Chains A and B, each alone.
Chain A
Amino acid sequence: MTGSTRLNLLVLPAVLFLLAVYVWPTLGLFRNAFNEVGPTGAMVEAWSLKTGAEVFADGFTFELTLNSLWLSLTSTLIALVLSYPVSLFLFRTNSRFRGLLAVIAIMPMLISGVVRVFGWLAILGDRGLVNTLAQSLGLISTPMRLVFNWTGVTIGLAESIMPYMILALLAGFGQLDRTLEEASRSLGATPFRTFLRVTLPLSLPALALAAGLGFVLSMSAYITPKLLGGGRVFVLATEIFEQATTNTNWPVAAMLAIYTLGLLLLLLAISNIAARRLQR
């Protein structure tokens, strides 16, 4: 047996596992998407496009798509702007606390999404930290609505994807080299000009990578839009869950899920091409 065959065998368990828990259910999802719902509301085995036609003729699907894209775009941009300086600092610091700081930065990843949402409720709610503080300072008289709407969902989502984006940025900073910034400064560029001409251009591949990841995570997020949206925020993920559980309409849920998956793959492909272009 050659060395490479032996190495290939090592991935076999992982491949089998993925086949069983990922590929097989996804195929099942595809199958369900082409089933129909009978008059009783029960699922009828079929190979028809009726469910698909229903889903895509509905204007609500279009609205959900726009909502999802807009929410993902805004939370990704916010998270990107906040994550970039953090990662840049972590990437460069020689501090002996670097490891600890990195763990703190990605800590939210280790906390359950539900717990995190309740944390945000305590901060952003009508009697939460922000409103109490603003009121006691006399900045506002009535509490601002910061949760159970798009604002809350955007804030919560941005925070929840930040750890992933920080990790992606750190992984993507390969080309960034302190010496290049020193070279720029020695050639007469101010620190700000050095950032614009050297640091930022060399971070673009990392930023593209992180943005792609953040966007995909936002598109598929369910807990945050559901709990922080207070039933007023409708996106593809919440709708899929509604259809699957409340309405037990499996074919519609499956069709929407496949549609979302297709959308994500398309966006990933675009971000990949963009990242590769930037690397050049």
Chain B
Amino acid sequence: MSYLELSGLQKRYRDSVAVDDVSLSVEQGEAVALLGPSGCGKTTTLRMLAGLVDPDRGAIRLDGAEITRLPAHKRNMGYVFQSYALFPHLSVARNVGFGLEERGVGKPEIARQVEEALALVRLAGLDQRRPRELSGGQQQRVALARSLVIRPSVLLLDESLSNLDAKLRDTMRHEIRSIQRSLGITTLFVTHDQVEALTMCDRIAVMDRGRIAQIGSAEDIYERPATRFVASFVGRSNVLPATRDAEGRAVLWGETLPVAVPASGEFDLFVRPQRMRILPVSEPVSPGMARVHGRVLRSVFVGDHVEVLIEGVGGQLTVEMQSGSAAPAEGTEVAVAWPLSDTLPFAREAA
């Protein structure tokens, strides 16, 4: 049995289902991201873990013991809130020491551990400040230190980086990840930001409408999305409407592609733009490749890459080229090729 087990968790509100059926196993020391759009139930799942929301159904087991109905203050979970939730009336030191005081730890020991925790998040010397005297990034570190100092069974991070500016977010991402690794602390990280999920966690659970759509490594999720939702939520994809020929093969823009397609119903082919390459019309492609023809509509320089928009008989698609390579001129007739293995067919959902 895993260190942390969620099984069949459900939470309904008056007229909506926040979490429908979530089961998840997390090993000790593992970092797992709950990734999904807002309203997918990821925060509610986290709150159920912390004991801040009572599940209607299902069970939570921690280290073999059932904690489903245990009140929040007996759970020993370190919860870092999106708004940080620092106590405005207490100094940084007393904020960080709050949990230790509640555990009846002696004053000298609290002082020692608080100092250590503040050093860990690189805030040494700011212990007498009030939270509002700190910058957003510093507040974030205090919140993290406050949750770490109690040596939580599980560290729960709720969109903890979303209030920081892009640059700081990047720094904090790496810092939190390295602290998490060095302390070997089991972590659940709720986010709607896929970069955060991909870079900070060992495994990612993509959530969709109160359920886990797919769980796996960053690579699994990105390369082998299990559902149409995962494919469209994680990373960018060309969504290409295709048809089926008499032998059940996919037909895209007049070209037959030997990829497995759904037996019935309408479907689209998902292809990542950076897996596509632009070739001269005359150049042949090797067997394992798909190839269609089109005309260059325009190219957009986006810094580290160039996006080339191509129009063909069946619609448009975007190819991502590395910048530096010469983009074909607008109006040029070209061929677009990509590995057949990178072509993912998904049935179109009933509207």
- Where the two chains meet, the residues of A that have a C-beta atom closer than 8 Å to any C-beta of B are 175, 177, 179-180, 182-191, 193-194, 197-198, 201-202
Chain B, 73-126, CB within 8 A of any chain A CB: 73-79, 81, 83, 85-89, 98-99, 102-103
Given contacts A179-B83, A189-B73, A190-B73, contact A184 B98 (CB under 8 A): yes
A179 touches B85 (CB 8 A): yes
Tell me which residues across on chain A come within 8 A of B98, comparing CB atoms.
184, 187, 189, 197
Name the residue in B51, B74, B81, B85 with the highest tally of chain A Cβ atoms < 10 Å from its Cβ: B85
Name the residue in B71, B75, B89, B103 with the highest tally of chain A Cβ atoms < 10 Å from its Cβ: B89
A188 touches B103 (CB 8 A): yes
B102 touches A193 (CB 8 A): yes
**CB-nearest residue of chain B relative to A185?**
B72
- Where the two chains meet, the residues of B that have a C-beta atom closer than 8 Å to any C-beta of A are 50-52, 71-79, 81, 83, 85-89, 98-99, 102-103, 146-147, 150
A183 touches B79 (CB 8 A): yes
Supplied contacts A177-B83, A186-B50, 11 more A-B pairs, CB within 8 Å? A179-B81, A180-B85, A180-B87, A180-B88, A182-B52, A184-B98, A185-B72, A186-B77, A187-B146, A190-B73, A191-B73
Tell me which residues across on chain B come within 8 A of A182, comparing CB atoms.
50, 52, 72, 79, 81, 85
Give Cα A188–Cα B100 distance, bound, in whole angstroms.
Answer: 8
> Which of A187, A189, A202 meets B88, CB within 8 Å?
A202
Closest Cβ of chain A: how far from B156's Cβ, in Å? 8
**CB-nearest residue of chain A relative to B14?**
A96
Tell me which residues across on chain A come within 8 A of B78, comparing CB atoms.
186
Tell me which residues across on chain B come within 8 A of A198, comparing CB atoms.
87
Q: Please list 22 pairs of residues, one from A and one from B, whose beta carbons are closer than 8 Å in the complex, sorted by A's number.
A: A175-B88, A175-B89, A177-B85, A179-B85, A180-B85, A182-B52, A182-B85, A183-B79, A183-B86, A183-B87, A185-B71, A185-B73, A186-B50, A186-B73, A186-B147, A187-B102, A187-B146, A188-B76, A191-B73, A193-B73, A193-B102, A202-B88
B89 touches A188 (CB 8 A): no
Tell me which residues across on chain A come within 8 A of B74, comparing CB atoms.
188
Name the residue in A175, A177, A183, A198 with the highest tally of chain B Cβ atoms < 10 Å from its Cβ: A183
Give Cα A201–Cα B102 distance, bound, in whole angstroms.
Answer: 16
A183 touches B81 (CB 8 A): yes
Give Cα A177–Cα B83 distance, bound, in whole angstroms.
Answer: 11
Give Cα A186–Cα B103 distance, bound, in whole angstroms.
Answer: 12
> Which of B85, B87, B88, B102 meets A188, CB within 8 Å?
B102
Report, nearest first, the 4 A-B pairs whose CB atoms are least far apart. Answer: A187-B99, A183-B85, A186-B79, A188-B102
Tell me which residues across on chain A come within 8 A of B52, comparing CB atoms.
182, 185-186
Closest Cβ of chain B: how far from A57's Cβ, in Å? 48
Tell me which residues across on chain B come within 8 A of A185, comparing CB atoms.
51-52, 71-73
Give Cα A182–Cα B143 distance, bound, in whole angstroms.
Answer: 13
Give Cα A187–Cα B150 distance, bound, in whole angstroms.
Answer: 8
Given contacts A175-B88, A201-B89, A202-B88, contact A188 B81 (CB under 8 A): no
Give Cα A88–Cα B76 distance, bound, in whole angstroms.
Answer: 27
A189 touches B79 (CB 8 A): no
Tell me which residues across on chain A come within 8 A of B103, comparing CB atoms.
188
**CB-nearest residue of chain A relative to B78?**
A186
**CB-nearest residue of chain A relative to B50?**
A186
Give Cα A136–Cα B266 distance, bound, in whole angstroms.
Answer: 81
Closest Cβ of chain B: how far from A131's Cβ, in Å? 44
Give Cα A256–Cα B343 distance, bound, in whole angstroms.
Answer: 92
Tell me which residues across on chain B come within 8 A of A183, comparing CB atoms.
79, 81, 85-87
Tell me which residues across on chain B come within 8 A of A201, comparing CB atoms.
89
Give Cα A88–Cα B147 distance, bound, in whole angstroms.
Answer: 27
> Which of A177, A180, A186 meets B72, CB within 8 Å?
A186
B79 touches A188 (CB 8 A): no
Closest Cβ of chain B: how far from A199's Cβ, in Å? 11
> Which of B86, B89, B102 meets A189, CB within 8 Å?
B102
Give Cα A191–Cα B50 distance, bound, in whole angstroms.
Answer: 15
Give Cα A183–Cα B78 distance, bound, in whole angstroms.
Answer: 9
Closest Cβ of chain A: how far from B310's Cβ, in Å? 49
Tell me which residues across on chain B come within 8 A of A186, comparing CB atoms.
50-52, 72-73, 75, 77-79, 147
Tell me which residues across on chain B come within 8 A of A193, comparing CB atoms.
73, 102
Closest Cβ of chain A: how far from B71's Cβ, in Å? 8
Name the residue in A183, A186, A198 with the highest tally of chain B Cβ atoms < 10 Å from its Cβ: A186
B99 touches A188 (CB 8 A): yes
Tell me which residues across on chain B come within 8 A of A184, comparing CB atoms.
87, 98
Closest Cβ of chain A: how far from B73's Cβ, in Å? 5
Tell me which residues across on chain A come within 8 A of B85, comparing CB atoms.
177, 179-180, 182-183
Tell me which residues across on chain A come within 8 A of B88, comparing CB atoms.
175, 180, 202
Tell me which residues across on chain B come within 8 A of A177, comparing CB atoms.
83, 85
Give Cα A257–Cα B52 distance, bound, in whole angstroms.
Answer: 54
Tell me which residues across on chain B come within 8 A of A197, comparing CB atoms.
98
Tell me which residues across on chain B come within 8 A of A179, comparing CB atoms.
81, 83, 85
Closest Cβ of chain B: how far from A228's Cβ, in Å? 40
Give Cα A182–Cα B52 distance, bound, in whole angstroms.
Answer: 7
Give Cα A221–Cα B35 distance, bound, in whole angstroms.
Answer: 60
Give Cα A202–Cα B78 distance, bound, in whole angstroms.
Answer: 23
Give Cα A201–Cα B94 distance, bound, in whole angstroms.
Answer: 14
Give Cα A191–Cα B52 distance, bound, in whole angstroms.
Answer: 12
Give Cα A39–Cα B81 distance, bound, in whole angstroms.
Answer: 77
Give Cα A193–Cα B227 distance, bound, in whole angstroms.
Answer: 47
**CB-nearest residue of chain A relative to B99?**
A187
